[in-house]
Structure 1
Amino acid sequence: MIADCNRQGIKTILCVANDRDLFEDYSSNNLELDHYGMPKWKGHYALTTASCIIVQTAFQQQMLQRNFNRSSVLIRNPVKLSQDDKKKWITRTQREFVLWIGRADAFNKQPSIFLDLAKHCPDLHFLMIVNRTDEAELDSLEADCPDNLRIIEHVHPTKILDFILRARVFVNTSRYEGFPNTFLQCAVSGVPIVSLQVDPDGMLTRNRCGIYVSGDVAKLKEAVIDLVDNSDKADRLANACYQYVLEYHEYRERVAEMAACIEKLHVAEPVPEKAPWWAAMKRYWR
């Protein structure tokens, strides 16, 4: 897409999703496929030729500058908040399960860690909402599922908050993320977060919005049990997370930032001269 736009003299905005998309192995001569199945040299092309790049976190901004010498615009993920949000929160004792949401992706999302967590906490109820992106991985999870874990293959996006509102704890087991939208949904729903390997811009540790266990699976279990048993602590983390999201992720300010970014790009330097017809024969200028 960016190659075609460049050829036609159309400006482009590239929005970075995952920290992993900014690794330095996205080089101009790397023919390996990335986790999207795209040659990494194409990722390098996109990152080095897009007119503007939008990132989700300050950490991504630093990675982009360090690995690709590109500046960027930081626009945090938006979420719609309401004065009635907290009125919808149910008490800790009414909440039903420890929740995990993600793709059936063994490498990055690591759902099997959550399954093992359920096995080691037989007195708690667990719910896993999984998108069937890998048939073999999902089949393996279902075959090894303990009695206290329920696996739901798909939930419509409009219904996902109904499940999050009933969660006692939300668990993230990903190796890499950008800024998980599930963290925003948990903030709106009053659900404390426990994360194995992801802490975007220190949200969980520095801002006390949840518990980050630095990859320690044993501590993951301890943190989940602690939050189930300690309602006051769960409430403190949930309230801190809500205030953080209110300050940094409220959607109207994020929309204004995006509009300003588009306007700035629109009034910037003139659009490059349209490439000749024969340039279509060589889409990527390498």
Structure 2
Amino acid sequence: MTMRPTRVCFLNPFGYELFDPATRASRVFGGAEVQLYYLATALAALEKFSVSMIVESANLRHQQVVEGVKMIPVRPEPPALARLRDRIPIPSLRYLSAMRTADADIYLQRGGAVQTGDVALHCRVARRRFVFMAAHDWDCDHHHRGGSQYLAGTYYVAGLHRADLVYAQSQFQQDQLQRHHHTSSAVQRTVYPAAPVSSPDEREHVLWVGRCVDWKRPMAFLDLAEARPDVPFMMACAPYEGAHDLYVSVAARADLMPNVEFLGFVPFAATDDLFRNARVIVNTSTVEGFPNTFVQAARVATPVLSLEVDPDRVLETGGFGACADGNPATLAEQLDQMLDNATWRRHSANALDYFRTTHDLETILPAFARSLEDLCRS
């Protein structure tokens, strides 16, 4: 008897642009959406799985199949309702209906949000399995229950507790989930497919990539560039809803610096060349999950410098970069060291080794697929 495929539905509201770059997402997407894209398309290529994805789109009218994944479109919610749901956990009828349409065995959602509660609600009523994936360190403590978001955060936590399988991005997140929520989890590393590597002669700029939000501290990158006017810096800094003034300020300051090329928003597909041709990438965030930029850099043998974030001390143990532990002066010194050719070559080789053993999609996928099959059978 032929076994039917395991039906997996990914909830990825802002991820359709990754399938169709000509279509701009209703909001700027980040690493969570990228990870769901890679995992969904990789699973869809396996005969044992049938994969669907719920995406927000005002134009998609049918359940078309793209890269093996069936798209289930949901019309974007009115902005006023979306803002209200950030505070009051009103279940989304549009998403609940889309989940019924998907009729999956397993529903997978990434990142702490009101939607976590909605997916848990659907799975409990429909008696289906729910997999939650942490996307940020804030998903693992009580950050989401702060201030005016207490009710929405409580709904998220209730959904987290209802998940049948929880994935953390790091050992730190795994510990935090246990400490704050008494929730067991497995570590699922960020994944990317392998990519071509550029020669050292093609690499020039110091790179920053991210959304223009306060906690990513784009101004700290410009401080670093100001201290090294002899070095070319490049900034792919996407504007973000609710942070318009910061974006204007960053763009204006960068425009006055002759050694800084400010790119603004760059489509995801075009960022590969930025990482491939970078001498080093710099992360200035105060807090992250496991930065996708670390993995994007490592897979093309580009070293990483971080002002404050180093999950599980991977830069140190992997030997492909350094963390300044929050000290801008230390970060500047580390950049000077990384610009030395011998130092750079050593860290570059370590970066590629680290990627191949820890984050290569082809290497990680079998265990991930097996965990979903086991969950469905249990």
- Superposition TM-score, scaled by structure 1 size: 0.84
Distance 2:367 2:129 in 1: 18
Tell me if structure 2 keeps the 8 A contact 1:31–1:40.
no
Q: Which residue of 2 aligns with 1:129?
A: 236
Correspondent of 2:364 among 254, 263, 270: 254
Q: Which residue of 1 aligns with 2:221?
A: 114
Higher strand share: 2
* C-alpha displacement of 1:266: 0.7
Q: Which residue of 1 aligns with 2:312?
A: 201
- One-letter amino acid matched to 1:128: M
- One-letter amino acid matched to 2:203: R
* C-alpha displacement of 1:25: 4.6
Distance 2:368 2:301 in 1: 28
* C-alpha displacement of 1:24: 3.3
Distance 2:265 2:218 in 1: 15
- One-letter amino acid matched to 1:46: G
Tell me if structure 1 keeps the 8 A contact 2:211–2:238.
yes
Tell me if structure 2 keeps the 8 A contact 1:192–1:235.
no
* Paired residues, number: 256
Distance 1:13 1:123 in 2: 48
Correspondent of 1:141 among 250, 256, 268: 250
Tell me if structure 2 keeps the 8 A contact 1:77–1:254.
no
Q: 5+ unaligned residues in a row in structure 1: which ranges?
A: 269-286
Correspondent of 1:60 among 132, 155, 173: 173
Q: Which residue of 2 aligns with 1:76?
A: 189
Tell me if structure 1 keeps the 8 A contact 2:138–2:144.
no
Distance 1:4 1:31 in 2: 27
Q: Which residue of 2 aligns with 1:233?
A: 343
- One-letter amino acid matched to 1:58: Q
Farther off after superposition, 186-195 or 97-106: 186-195
* C-alpha displacement of 1:3: 2.2
Could you tell me the percent identity over the aligned residues? 29
Correspondent of 1:41 among 145, 154, 157: 154
Tell me if structure 1 keeps the 8 A contact 2:283–2:307.
yes
Cα deviations by residue, 1:2-42 (Å, 9 ceiling, x for unpaired): 22322332221001001121113556xx66328xxx82212
Tell me if structure 2 keeps the 8 A contact 1:103–1:109.
yes
Cα RMSD (Å): 1.8
Correspondent of 1:242 among 327, 338, 352: 352
Are 1:223 and 2:339 matched, yes or no?
Answer: no
* C-alpha displacement of 1:120: 1.4
Q: Give the SS at the match of 2:319.
A: coil
- One-letter amino acid matched to 2:252: A
Distance 1:46 1:40 in 2: 10
Higher RCO by CA contacts (8 Å cutoff, separation 6 or greater): 1
Q: Which residue of 1 aligns with 2:272?
A: 161
Distance 2:231 2:163 in 1: 48
Distance 2:143 2:310 in 1: 23
- One-letter amino acid matched to 1:132: P
Farther off after superposition, 38-47 or 171-180: 38-47
* C-alpha displacement of 1:76: 0.9
- One-letter amino acid matched to 2:363: E
Q: Which residue of 2 aligns with 1:4?
A: 122
Q: 5+ unaligned residues in a row in structure 2: which ranges?
A: 1-117
Q: Which residue of 2 aligns with 1:273?
A: none
Distance 2:143 2:271 in 1: 35
Q: Which residue of 2 aligns with 1:50?
A: 163
Q: Give the SS at the match of 1:81.
A: coil
